[in-house]
Structure 1
Amino acid sequence: MKIRAIVAHKDKIRLLLEGCDGKSLTVNAQVPLVCGKDDPGFVPGRVVASYTVSAAEGQAEFSRYADGYDLLLCRFEVFAPEQLEGVCYVTEFDHAASASHEPYPTLPIKAINSGAVMADFEELGFSQTCFGPNQAALMLMHPGENALPYEYNGKTYYFNRTVLQKTEEQLIPLAQRNIPAVMRYINSSFFLGEQSDQEIVDIIQHPDYDYDYPSAYMGAFNLRTEEGFNYFCACTDFLLARYTRPDKKYGWAISFEVGNEVTSQYIWGNAGEMTCAEYMREYTEVMRICWLLSQKYWENFRVHTSFDQYFNGSHMPSEPKRFYGIRECIDEIWKNCQRDGDFPWNIAFHPYPENLSFPDFWNDREPNWTFETRRITFKNLEVMPAYLAQEHLLYKGKPRRIILPEQGFNSRDDAPYTEKQGMYGYVLAYQKMKKLGTIDLFLHHNYCDNPGEFGLNLGIRRYGGKDFLQEGLDVIGDRKPICDAIADMDTAREEDRVAEARAFIGEELFDYMLNPPAVTEKPAGADGGLHLPGQGNRRKGNKKEEAPVSNFDH
C-alpha cells in the first residue's frame, strides 16, 4: 500500500493510492516543523486534524480546511492500520485551486537590481529585476500607525508600511512597464541592528543561529517551532498575495530565490553547525512551503535555490558543517523529494569569475567541463544545465530552470583596462547563456560600485560619493564601458559588439569558450582544469584574499 500523490483542490485534499481499495484509512495532518539534525529538545509539529476515510478506485479525499485552518502545508501520515509508504506532502494542484494560470513570462535574460534609475532600465534594455524582501525588516509584532495588518490562517500579522513603501517606490514604476522581479527572500536582523523588532527576531530567528560568529550576516528561516513556522508562512503568503496580483498594483514578482548563497550558510543563512544533509533537510522544506503557498495565487510562479559558485568542495573546505558544495546540496534536495514528494524546485546560483578581483573569466584556471569541477564560473556555465539534465533530476520529464541573479565583473582601481575586460566579458557570457536554453535571467551585480563590498567595484556605474544635502544618500556615478555592451545585446548592434569582444579576447579562445568540450562526469586523464589556447598564468601582483560576496540593493 502506497501514497502515489497528494492533490490539493480548492476545498479538499485527495490522496492517490496503490493497493488500498476497500480499506478504512486514518489520515493525520501535522504541522510540518522540521529539525534537520538529531536534537532531543526538538518537538515535532502537532496534529491539527485527523480524518477517517474510505479508499475506493485508487483514491480517498477529505476536507482541506479543519475549523478554518488550511491543511495545504501539512505533513500527512496515513494508516491502514499500518502506516502507508509514499509521499507525505501535497505534490499536485487541481486547476481550480490556483487563482491565476498565466504562463511564466518569456523575456530577454538581461536584468539589473531594482534600485537602478529608470533611464538605465530603458536605455540599456533591462527586462527583469530583483529585490530582497527581508522577513526581519518586514514584520512587526504589534498594531500601530506604521503596521499594515494581514490575515493568515485565522491570525492577524503586521507588516512595516515604511519598508513596503520604500520597496514599492522602485517596483511599481517597473511593473507599469511590465518588468518583473525575482524576490531574493532572506532573514537578516544583522543588517537592521537596533532598528530590528526584537520580539519578532526572537520568533523568526533560527534557534541555532550563531550570534558569536561575526560574519553571520543572515540567518536561516525558523521552521523548528510552530510560532516561527506560522510567522514564516504569513510573511511568505503576504509577499505572494501582494506581488503576484494580476493588476500589479504594488509591483510584479515572478519567482523566489530562497535565501542567499546557502552553500555558505554560516555567512548567508546561519543555522549553526550542521552537515549538508541536515541543513538541506530544513532548506528543502522552506522551498516546498514557498512553492505550496505560491500555487494559491499563480500556478506558474517559480521557486529557486540560492547557491554560490562552488560545485564540488566549498568556500571553506576545512569547515564542512558550515560550508557546502552545490552538487552535494542538489543531491540532498533530490533525496528529500524522493522520500517526501517532488515539487518544481529550480536553481539560482552565482557564477562569478574564480577570483572576484579579476573580470577575465576566460583565463580562470580551476573550472573545467566535468561534474568534478570545483567551481562553476562564467567559463564553464555549461556544467550546471548538463548536471540538471540527468534523468533522475528532471521534473516531469523536463530540466529544472536556472537563473543567475548575482554575478558581475570587477574593475580594479590599479588596472583601468579591467573595465574593458568586464565589458567584453559581459558580451561573451551573454552569448554563452543564450546558447544554453534553460537560463531565464542574467542579473549583473552590482548596479553601482559599493565602497562596503569587500574592496570590489562590481557596479556598471561608478560610486559618486555621498550627497550630504540629501541626508548623506549615496550618489550614482558615471556609467562604465560595460553599459555600452549591455545596451547592444538583443539589438541590431549585437553582432558588431560580439566581433569586438572576439577580437579583444582572441578569436580562437573566444570561439573555444562558445563551443567548449562536451561536459563529462570526470576529466579525461587530467586532475586540473583543461588547457585552453591563450590561457596562461598571468594573475600576478598583490594577492587579495577572496571574500564571499553577496550583496543587495535593499
Structure 2
Amino acid sequence: MKRILPTIIITFFSSLYLSAEKSRYDEPYPVANSKKGLQVEMVEDALVLGVKHAALNFNVTQLVDPNSDPDNPRWVKDGREYYFNRTYLNKIDSSIKKLSDRGVLVNLIVLAYQSGNTQINKLIMHPKAARERPNPLSAFNTVTEDGRRWFVAIMEFIAERWSHPEKKNGRVVGYIIGNEVNSHWWWSNMGRVTMKEFTADYLRTMRLVHSAVRRQSSWARVYISLDHHWNIRYEAGDEGQTFAGRPFITYFAELAKDGGDFDWHLAFHPYPENLRNPKFWNDQSATKKSTTPRITFKNLRVLTTHMRKSEMLYQKQQRRIILSEQGFDTPKAPDGEKIQAAAYCYAYKLVESIDGIDSFILHRHVDHRNEGGLLLGLRRWDKGNPKKKIYDCFRFADTPKWEAIFEFALPVVGIKKWP
C-alpha cells in the first residue's frame, strides 16, 4: 500500500499536464547532414562555417509584457490574454529565421534571468530562489497559479510561432529547459533543496513544457540539461546546492514513469574535467565504468550505455541525446591555439563515431571577456574578432577536406588514426 498510494496521487496530478489533444502541426523531425553545431553569436559567420545545429539563449523575462501593450503580440489561453515584447521577439526571430531558412536545426536554451521589473520576476522566477544566488538565474515559477498560467502561455505561444508550417518566423526544433540543472544553485536556482525536492519541481515544469509544445508541434523536442558531473556533485557546492547527474536523471525517469511517461530527452555537457585544460584524453576522473565520477569526451559511451537501459527508454526507444554546450580553453602558451584546435578535432571524430548522439554544439563562437578567464571561442574577442586555429577545423569538420585539416592533431593527441 505504501507504494500504490503515491503512484495514484502522482498519476492523477500529472494527468493535469498530459494532453491527449492532437498537435496543431504534425511533421516529422528534420534530419541534419552532420552533427556539427555551435552556440551562435554571429549568424552570418555561423552560416559561413556551415553549422548544421545551433543553440540560442532565450530569456523568458525579456519576452513577458505584464502591461498588455495592445501593439504587442498576444496569446489567448483559457479566456485570458497574454502579451509579449515585440522588440525581443523580432530580435530572436531574425536569428532563428536566418539559420533555419538555411537548414540549420535551431534549439533554444530556455532561461529565467532576473530582470529589473519586480512584477515580471514574481511571475517568472521561482518564488524560493535564493537572494544570495551566485548568478542572476532562477528556476521557473510553475509553483503559483499565475506563474503556471504565464509559463504555459509562453511555451504555447513560442511553440506555435516557431512550429508553423509557413516558417515565416523561422523554425525551432528543440527546447532545453534551464541550464545544468544538477548544479541548480548556479544555473537554475530554487533555493537550497534536496535532489528529490528539486526533481519533483523540475518534473512539473518539464511536463508543462512538453504538453504546451505538443499541443502545437508533434515533433519538437524537450530536453533536460546536465553538466559533466555523473557520480559526484560539483565540488563547489553542498548537497543542497548540487547533485550528481546519474542519480538525478535516473530518479527523474522513475518519477516521470510513475506519473505517466512522456518523451523528454537529454542535453548533456561533456566538458573536460578541468575546464582550463583542453586535453580531455588525459582526464583521470572520466573512466569507462558506470561509476565514473565524470563523463567527458573521453568516456561518452558511458552516457549512451546508461541511456539505453530499459528504465531510461521511452516506448522501448532510446531518448535522444544532444551535446548542447561544451568547449575547449585556449592555453596561454605558444601552442595554445594548436592544442585547443586538436581537442576539437578529436572530440568531433569521437562524437561522429557514436550512435545515439545527434549533435555536438560547441561553446563558444567568440571568446568572452567575463567567462572566468576561459578562452573557448572560435574567434578572439580582440577588435575584429580574429579567427583562431580551431576556426578552420570547425568549418571543414564535416566536409571532404576534414582529413587534411585535422592531420596536425593526431600527434598532439597522441594517436595514429581517428576513431
| Conserved? CA contact 1:304–1:348, under 8 Å | yes
Conserved in 2, the CA contact under 8 Å of 1:427 and 1:497?
Answer: no
**Distance in 1 (alpha carbons) for counterparts of 2:136 and 2:130:** 10
> Which of 227, 239, 248 is matched with 1:320 structurally?
239
Report whether the alignment pairs 1:164 with 2:83: no
Does structure 2 conserve the Cα–Cα contact (< 8 Å) formed by 1:281 and 1:332?
no
Specify the alignment match of 1:453 in structure 2: 371
**CA RMSD between the two structures:** 2.1
Match of 2:29 among 104, 107, 118: 104
Find the aligned partners of 2:306 and 2:183 in 1 and give their Cα distance.
21
Match of 1:517 in 2: none
1:149 paired residue number: 74
Mapped partners of 2:123, 2:303: distance in 1: 36
Alignment correspondent of 1:493: 401
The answer for the alignment partner of 2:345 in structure 1 is: 427
Aligned residues: 411
Greater radius of gyration (CA): 1
Q: Tell me if 1:400 matches 2:319.
A: yes
The change in CA–CA distance for 1:182 and 1:117 in structure 2 (over 3 A counts) is closer
Residue 380 of structure 2, aligned match among 462, 470, 488: 462
The alignment-based identity, stated in percent, is: 31
Aligned CA distance change for structure 1 residues 318 and 245 (closer, same or farther; 3 Å): closer
Q: Output the CA distance in 1 between the equivalents of 2:50 and 2:68.
A: 42
For 2:405, give the aligned amino acid: R
CA contact (8 A) 2:39 2:365 kept: yes
The structure with the largest strand share of the pair is: 1
The answer as to 2:287 corresponding to 1:368 is: yes
- CA offsets per residue over residues 7-33 of structure 1, 9 Å max, x none? xxxxxxxxxxxxxxxxxxxxxxx9x9x
- TM alignment of 1:509-520, pairs within 5 A: 514=419
For 1:172-187, list aligned pairs within 5 A. 172-187=97-112
Q: What SS does the corresponding residue of 2:373 show, helix, strand or coil?
A: coil
1:238 maps to a residue whose letter is F
Any conservation in 1 of the 2:346–2:413 contact (CA below 8 Å)? Answer: no
How far apart, in 1, do the equivalents of 2:149 and 2:43 lie? Answer: 37
Aligned residue number for residue 418 of structure 1: 336
Stretch moving more, 139-148 or 201-210: 139-148
User: Match of 2:359?
Assistant: 441
Q: Which amino acid aligns with 2:193?
A: M
In structure 2, relative to structure 1, the CA distance for the partners of 1:147 and 1:171 (3 Å cut) is: same
- Aligned-pair CA distance for 1:146: 6.1
| Pair 1:336 & 2:255 matched | yes
Contact 1:140–1:159 (Cα < 8 Å) also in 2: yes
Structure-2 change in CA distance of 1:178 and 1:139 (3 Å): same
Q: Which amino acid in the other structure matches residue 118 of structure 2?
A: Q
Q: Measure, in 2, the Cα distance between the counterparts of 1:250 and 1:460.
A: 28
| 1:188 aligned onto 2:113 | yes
- 2:60 partner letter: Q
Instruction: Report SS of the residue matched to 2:161.
Output: helix
Contact 1:99–1:297 under 8 Å retained in 2: yes
Q: 1:127 aligns with which of 41, 52, 58?
A: 52
Match of 1:267 among 149, 162, 186: 186
Contact 1:179 1:252 in 2 (8 A): no
Alignment-derived partner of residue 118 in structure 2: 198
Q: Which amino acid in 1 is paired with 2:103?
A: N
CA contact (8 A) 1:141 1:197 kept: no
**What is the rounded CA distance, in whole Å, between the counterparts of 1:153 and 1:247 in structure 2?**
26
Aligned counterparts of 2:157 and 2:122: Cα–Cα separation in 1 = 20
Q: Are the aligned partners of 1:404 and 1:439 in contact in 2 as well (CA < 8 Å)?
A: yes
Letter aligned with residue 394 of structure 2:
I
Q: TM-score, normalised by structure 2?
A: 0.93
Deviation at 1:174, TM superposition (A): 1.5
Which consecutive unaligned segments of at least 5 residues does structure 1 have? Answer: 1-29, 33-74, 78-86, 466-475, 515-554
- Unpaired runs of 5+ in structure 2? 1-8
SS at match of 2:277: coil
- CA-to-partner distance for each residue in 1:60-84, whole Å, 9 max, x for gaps? xxxxxxxxxxxxxxx747xxxxxxx
Give CA deviations for 1:498-534 in whole Å, capped at 9, x if unaligned.
Answer: 44322332226x66xx4xxxxxxxxxxxxxxxxxxxx
Q: CA deviation at 1:92?
A: 7.4
Q: TM-score when scaled to structure 1?
A: 0.71
